[in-house]
Amino acid sequence: MPKVFNWHLNREMEYPYEEVRPEKQFCAVFNINRCVGCQTCSMACKATWTFSKGQEHEWWNNVETKPYGGYPQFWDRKILEKLGPQSWEGDTYAGDTIFEAAPEGEVALGYYPEQREWVYPNIYEDTPAAETWQPAVELPVHDVWMFYLQRTCNHCTYPGCLAACPRKAIYKREEDGIVLIDQERCRGYRKCVEACPYKKSMYRTTTRTSEKCIGCYPLNEQGILSRCMAACVGKIRLQGWLHAPDKAQEDNPFDYLVHFAKVALPLYPQLGTEPNLYYIPPRWAPREYLRQLFGPGVDAALEKYTDPDPILFGVLRLFGMTDRVIDSFQVTKEAAIGFDEAGRELVRVLLDEPMYIRPAYDARFDVHRFNEP
C-alpha cells in the first residue's frame, strides 16, 4: 500500500492511493463558541439537496449536541471503540488510522449504521454532561457542559469512502478537492457508507445508490458560498480554500487560522483521512474531551483564541459577513477586509463598531427609551 503524508498526524500513513493534492482544497472553519444550534444550516441544505423520496434520513449538514448527540446515533463513539485506545507522542500520532487498523480483506475500519441509527438526527439535543448538580458555569471549564458540533462532509484529503469503493465510483476533484460519488457508476454496495468514519455517505433506497454532500460545487464554482455556510445565522462559518502547510499563504484566512494562528483544528484527526473542516473548540468544555475530538492542538488553540492578537481578531470578524468566498484578507487598524480571487474587495468589517449612547429620557417626545438598539 502506498505511503502518503498526513500533516494532521505529522507522519506518513498507509492509503490505497498515492498522495495527490488538489490545486486548492474546499475547506471551512466553524467557530463552535458562537453556534446557537438553530439548525438553519441543516434546513438550508435539506431544502436544497435532500428533500426527495428516499432522502428522508439524509442530512448532509447536521448539528449535533456533544457529548451525547450524534447523527447517525453514536457514530463517533462507535468508530472510536472499534479503533480502540490510541495515543499521540507530542504532535505526532502514534496510533493506528482507520486504514492501518483495517480488518483483513477490508480497505478501512468501519461499520454500516442501520436505518434506525439515522432517523433521530438531533437526538440528545441540548443534553449536557454534568459533574455536579449545582449550576456550574465558570470558565475555564464548566462543570455542566454541552456544545454544538457542526458537521458536513469533510471532503477529506484521504477519503475513507473513496478508498473503500470497489468500483472507483468516488473521486476527488482536482480543481477544488470536493469528493463526489458518480451517480452513474455507483452500484449501491454501501462500502463507502461503511468506510466513511464521519458517516457522511448515505444510502438512498429510491435510487439504490449512495449519496453525499457535494459541497454545493455549482455555487463554489461561481465564488458563492455553499448553502449551509451562507445561511448561518450565528455567523460561525467561514468557507474557502485551504493550502497544504508547505504552500500556506498568510493572507489566506484559512491558511492563517489553520497553519499560522493554529486556532482551528480538524475533527478526529486520528482517524487518518485528513478532514478539511476545521473547528475552533468551545472554551468551556473539558480539555480531555476536546483533545479526543480535535487532537493535541486544543490547548494552544484555546489559549490563542481566548486572547486573540489584532490579526486573529480581524479574521474572526469576517465570519458570516459575506456570501462570497473570501480568498485573501487584510487587517488594518480600523477594519478587516476580505477579497475575492481577483483581488476585489468583498467585505469590510470595522474592528470596533461605533457605539451611540442616548439619554434614557427623550424630551422631544416626552418618552422614555427602553434598550433600543
Least distance between other proteins and beta carbon 18 (Å): 17
Question: Taking the complex as a whole, how short is the minimal distance between the CB of residue 167 and other proteins, in angstroms?
Answer: 5
Task: For the CB of residue 322, give the shortest distance to other proteins in the complex, in Å.
Answer: 28
Residue whose CB is less far from other proteins, 57 or 317: 57
CA distances to 196, 257, 327 from 243, rounded to whole Å, are 23, 12, 11
Site of interaction with other proteins (CB under 8 A): 51-54, 56-57, 104-107, 112, 114-115, 118, 164, 166-168, 182-191, 203-209, 211
Helices (H), the chain: 40-49, 75-83, 115-118, 160-164, 191-195, 217-220, 227-230, 253-255, 287-294, 298-306, 310-317
Least separation in angstroms between residue 46's CB and other proteins is 11
CB 106 within 8 A of CB 192: no
Q: Which is nearer to other proteins, 182 or 221 (CB)?
A: 182
Q: How far is the CB of 111 from other proteins (least distance, A)?
A: 12
185/369 with CB nearer other proteins:
185
- List of residues 6+ apart from 253 with CB closer than 8 A: 29, 238, 240, 315, 318, 326, 328, 329, 338
Residue 57, number of CB atoms within 10 A of its CB = 20
Read off φ and ψ for residue 335, nearest 5 degrees. -145, 160
Q: Which is nearer to other proteins, 127 or 206 (CB)?
A: 206
Cβ-proximal residues to 366 (8 Å cutoff; 6+ apart), any chain: none
- Which is nearer to other proteins, 113 or 281 (by Cβ)? 113
